[in-house]
Every structure is written in C-alpha cells, then in structure tokens.
A and B are shown apart, each in its own frame.
Chain A
Amino acid sequence: MGTVTLEGVHKAYGNTTIVERLDLDFPDGSFTVLVGPSGCGKSTTLRMVAGLETVTSGSVKINDRDVTALEPKDRNIAMVFQNYALYPHLTVLENIAFPLRATKTPRREARVRAQEIADSLGLGKLTGRKPKELSGGQQQRVAIGRAIIREPAVFLFDEPLSNLDAKLRVETRSELLAIQKRLGITSIYVTHDQEEAMTLSDRMVVMREGKIAQVGSPAEVYGSPNSVFVATFVGSPKMNILRGTLDGTTFQTPEGHSWPLVSQHRGDVLVGLRPEDLLLTADPAGPATITQIELLGPRAVVSLQLEGTKLTSVVEAGALQGLSRGGTVSLDFRLGSAHLFDPMEETRLPG
C-alpha cells in the first residue's frame, strides 16, 4: 500500500512562496507526474514528500500516517535523483544492497537480494564494477535497483532521465514504466519535459508558480486544457493561439481574417488550435505565408506567418504537395477542435 496525501502543503522563505497551499492525492499504485517550467515548485514538492525539505505549513501523509515531521529515513520511501547519486566508492552490488544496511539486514541476505534485483534489471554481470565504469543507462538502472530493494511505499523520481541522450531516454522510459507496473508501487515523478510527462503518467499534475494549474490524465490535460498556460505547455509543437472575436458562427481576427466557428460564446476570445488541427491548402491568394518546413519523417512541421502572428501546423508528409517555403496558404480549422479561452483570465470557456 502506498497512498500519499498532501494537505495544504505550503513552502515559503520569508516573503517568497515556492509552493502554495497544495492539496493533492496520490492513489495507491498510481504513476503521477509533476510537470511544469523551471521554478514552478515541482521539485520542492517532491522533496517535501521525501522529507529533504521542511514544510512551512500543511501536512504530508503516507498511508494515512502523518510523516510531516519525520526524517526521510523513517518515511519508507525511495528516491532516484537526476544524477543517480550512486555511491562512487561502492560496487554495483554494494550500492544496491546499501539501503539494507540501515535496516541491519544480515550481509549475506542483503547480497542475495541485491543480486536478484541486479539480475532482474539486466545488471547481473556488472555487480563487481564501480559506478564510474558504467554507462549512463546502466547507472540509472543501479539507482532503480537500489530504490527497489527497500520495497518502499512510494517511489520518488527527480528528473532521472535528464542526463541521458534522447534515444536512451525513450528506451529507459518504457523500461521504467514496465517496472512500475510490475511492482505496483505508487510513484511520483518530476520532469520539465512535457512529452515525458505525457507518455509516463496515468495522472499528470501541471504546476505553475507554486500552484497546480491542472490535474488529470494525459488525455484530459491534452484534450481539455483549462488554461492557455496548460494548453501551450503541453503538446509539441505548441498550440497556436489567436486573438479575435466570436459572433456565434464566425471567428474573426482584428486584421480581418475570419473562419467559420460555431460557438455559444460571443465577444472577445482567445482561440487555441493544435498544430495538427490547423489545416493548410496551397493558395496563391492565401493570407498566410510559409516561413519554414521541417521534415520529421512521417510528418512535417510547417511554420507560418499570418500578418503579425506566427503559427505552426503539422502536416502528413504525403500531404506536402504544393507546399513550399515562401508559398502562400489558406487556413482551415478542423471541425470541433478549437479551444476557447477567456482573453482576460485565459481560462477555458465551454462550447
């Protein structure tokens, strides 16, 4: 069992608030990702769950037990740091077995268990090596092994994949997920990479300036972002945002471009359109100009300039006919795909 509950968790230094009265639930066995730009408070929140940072006010509960005042060692957690924090002077086996020293587990038993875990992670042959002799991916697996051996209630991850190159990152991601599903341990994972957040989590918590911007499954957060911030943060390339007015059947920009858009809302609005929902047709009289085409294999990212606004569209490679740099296009919104936001509050509008 491993539930985590944050109630009114608040962290401030003097006048600066890092995390503002956070209320968050982490169900047993879930994989929650805290994601957000630098300085949003995600790492601080994680460290408060770990006990590495003190809580200014509020409480942290693990399995309904209030651990707010407890040292990390008494919380029954395991953590993987960004640089893996492997003990340089110990071998792989000793690294993995190290946490058992704290529980006074007999040496032989510790070694046996560590070897089992090393084998399950594909490190069986490397147990005699020191960390500096391992590759990045191997080091990461040692860190995970060390975390697993305690059979903790909660796994905490602080951007563990940031040090790996792109390809390795993707591979390790799926391995991590597989391990978590197999062991069923509640995991809280911090990253600044929204793509990573989307692929790993069954629950995403988007944070901004110490507060929760949105909580939900990746599909929810991607499909129904509740604010311009979340909408532009999640999803790459970024969502296009256009300013204009609605009159029930059309959306019109100040420069005079208009598109059909049925809505219940009237008046000034921000319209959000994912790049894959912005459709292009080559048109010599079109309002937008193509400034760049980046081919990414099956798709291409097309950058456009519409008067003063930069837009992005994602086009299937096969549909690139007639589209070229410098050429003009006309734009269409995919039916029903527009997101509406209040221009002042930048929050989602229904309809």
Chain B
Amino acid sequence: MTNARILGSLRNAFLFFALITVLFPIVWVALASFKTAPQLNDPSLLFFEPSLLNWRFVFEAGILEAAGRSALVAGITVTISAIAGSGAAYVISQYKAGGAATRFGILAAQVLPPAVLVFPFLTLAYVLRVNDTLLPLIFAHLSFVLPVVTWFLIGFFDSVPKSLEEQARVDGFTRFKAFLLVVLPQVYPGLGAAIIFGFTLSWNDMFYGLILTPSRSAILPVAIAGFNTFRGVELGSMSAAILVAVIPVVIASFFIQKRLVQGISGGAVKY
C-alpha cells in the first residue's frame, strides 16, 4: 500500500511542479503588463501598485486595430476553409474520394515549411501591387489552415457510419441533401473544434505576417514583435500586447480540448 502512496504523492508533486512551470511565465507576463518602468527593474516584485500605463500605451499604439486585422484574416481564412473543407472531407472520408494521393497532399500541405511558399507570395504580391496588405496574407494562411481544417474533419467524418447517408438516400434525398441534413450535423462539434483550431493557427502566425505584411497592416503577432527592442523599457507594453493576443485563444482552447486529438491525428487517434 505504501508503494502506491509514494507513487501517488510523487505524481501529484510532479504535476504540481509542471503546473507551476506552465503558469509561471504567463503570470509573470500578466504582472509585468501592470508594472511601470521602475517597477520592472525588479523582476520578482510581486506586490505592487498596478498601473494601467502600459495598457493605455498599447491601445493608443493601435493594438486593437492589429488584433482586429488578425481576427479579420483568421475569420476569412477559417470561413473559406470550413466551407471548402467540409464537403471535401466528407467525400474523402466516406467515399475515399481522391484516394491516398489527396490525403497525402492534405497532410503535406499542413506540415510544409512556410519558407517554401512565402517567396512566391511575396513576389506575386509585389507584381499585383498588393504587397503589405492583408490579401496575400489570407492566401498564405489558407495554404495551411485549409489542409488542417480538412484533415480535422476527415477524422470526424470517419466516425459517422455510412449507413446514415444510405438511409437518407433511401428516404428520398439526393446525396448532397443527405450530406447537408444528416451527415454534417453529426460532426458539428468536430467542425466547431476545427474552426477554433484553424482560427488559432491563423491568429498565431508571425512568419507570413512579418514577411508579407510588415508595416501598414501588421497583424497582431507582428505588432508584438515590434515591441521587441533591445531597450528594456518596452517590456511593460510588450507584456500588455502579449496578453491581448493570448487571452482570447487560450480561453477558446478550453472549449475544444475534447475534440483536439481526433482532429490533429486525422482520426487515427480517437479520444
């Protein structure tokens, strides 16, 4: 019995330590966002008079506009991905449409290093005179969000029995109606998770944002990087900017935990 007890306490201690490790930087940043410059010089200052200086500075510098742009890009990207992806995922899953080649293409497009596609996007943007706008960014984000959303959905459609669609067809519906009215509703939770996950991926991207839209229409992560100077005085505002970026997605992440694994592995691992 004591053996199990010891293991149990070890386990709890370990998890506690892991939690501290995870929360510590986040809490530290949160505190830093409320500290003034002199307060920041003492890193371990825990109890202090909070100040909204950094927050005001960051809002005036346009952080909300940057967040708005991030949301716009992510929103458009995810909407297109969801619409194009659900129909495709459905036939890929239930009809094996496109075969292994299509599924491989979707996987490869997800894990493709951005370095491969970014230069063409940049060049084409210059040629079409849309450089430093959000348009090339949307296409760039589509290049990885669409495959991810589709991949996610394939995993969820895999769990829907084929007989459901057949029943609907026998009951008098066309294949498309059967998909829309019967099969798609079964994966609504998975679709929700895919959309949130896709949104997060787009929201978090900095590489494409930095290269394609560096200044005028900078998205949030790029704006955050803008606070990165070698002068420590920007730390407070940077922390506030970081929190603006982090809080929405972390909260959203709480809602999709259960579906994440099935989606990420494309159905290979089910929760």
Check whether chain A touches chain B (CB < 8 angstroms).
Answer: yes
Measured between alpha carbons, how far is A52 from B175 in the docked complex, in Å? Answer: 11
Residue A102 lies at the interface, judged by CB distance under 8 Å to chain B: yes
B60 part of interface (Cβ distance < 8 Å) = no
B248, CB-defined interface residue at 8 Å: no
Across the interface, name the chain B residue whose C-beta is closest to A89: B185
> Do B161 and A150 have beta carbons less than 8 Å apart?
no
CB contact under 8 A between A81 and B166, given known A88-B186, A89-B185: yes
Q: Type the 1/0 row for B156-197, where 1 means its CB is closer than 8 Å to any CB of A.
A: 000001011011111111100100011001100000000000
Interface window among A72-80, A219-227, A303-311, A319-327: A72-80
For B166, the closest partner residue in chain A by CB is A52
Selected from B167, B182, B186, the residue in CB contact (under 8 A) with A81 is B167
Which residue of chain A lies nearest to B167 when distances are taken between CB atoms in the complex? A85
**Interface residue range, chain A:** 20 to 34
Asked if B171 and A102 sit within 8 Å, CB to CB, the answer is yes
- How many Å from the CB of A87 to the closest CB on chain B? 6
Which 5 pairs across A and B sit closest by C-beta, in order of nearness?
A102-B172, A85-B167, A99-B171, A85-B163, A79-B170
Taking CB as reference atom, which chain B residue is nearest A85? B167
Main secondary structure of the interface of B (DSSP, over half): helix
Question: Shortest Cβ distance from B156 into chain A, in angstroms?
Answer: 14
> Hey, which chain A residues are within 8 Å of B168, CB to CB?
87, 98
Residues of B within 8 A of A81 (CB): 163, 166-167
Report if A71-B166 is in contact (Cβ < 8 Å); known contacts: A85-B161, A89-B185.
no
Given that A87-B182, A89-B185, A89-B186 are contacting pairs, would A79 and B167 also be in contact in the complex, using a CB cutoff of 8 Å?
yes
CA distance A102 to B171 in the complex (A): 8
Residues on B with beta carbons closer than 8 Å to the beta carbon of A339? none
Given contacts A81-B163, A83-B163, contact A50 B172 (CB under 8 A): no
Chain A residue contacts of B177, Cβ below 8 A: 102
What distance in Å separates the Cβ of B12 from its nearest Cβ neighbour in chain A?
37
B166 touches A85 (CB 8 A): yes
Most buried by B among A73, A77, A82: A73
Bound Cα distance A99, B181 (Å) = 12
The residue in chain A whose Cβ has the minimal distance to the Cβ of B160 is A88
> How far apart are A12's CB and chain B's nearest CB, in angstroms?
20
Write out the residue numbers on chain A whose beta carbons fall within 8 Å of the beta carbon of B171: 73, 78, 98-99, 102, 146, 150
Residues of A within 8 A of B169 (CB): 51-52, 71-73
Flag if A52 contacts B170 (CB, 8 Å).
yes
Q: Which of B161, B173, B185, B186 contacts A73 (CB 8 A)?
A: B173
Q: Indicate if A16 sits at the interface (CB-CB under 8 A).
A: no
Closest residue of B by beta carbon distance from A158: B163
**A103 on the interface (CB 8 Å rule)?**
yes
B170 near A78 with CB under 8 A, answer yes
B99 to chain A, nearest CB (A): 17
| Residue of B with least CB distance to A52 | B166
Chain B nearest CB from A334 CB (Å) reads 46
Given the complex, which residues of B lie within 8 Å of A103, measured CB to CB? Answer: 172
Closest to A103 in B: B172
CB-defined contacts of B163 to chain A, threshold 8 Å:
81-83, 85
* Candidate in A82, A85, A98 with the most chain B CB atoms within 10 angstroms: A85
Contacts of B164 in A (CB 8 A): 85, 87
When chains A and B are docked, how far (Å) is the Cα of A88 from the Cα of B167? Answer: 12
CA distance A313 to B168 in the complex (A): 48
Q: Determine the chain A residues whose CB is within 8 A of the CB of B166 once the complex forms.
A: 52, 72, 79, 81, 85
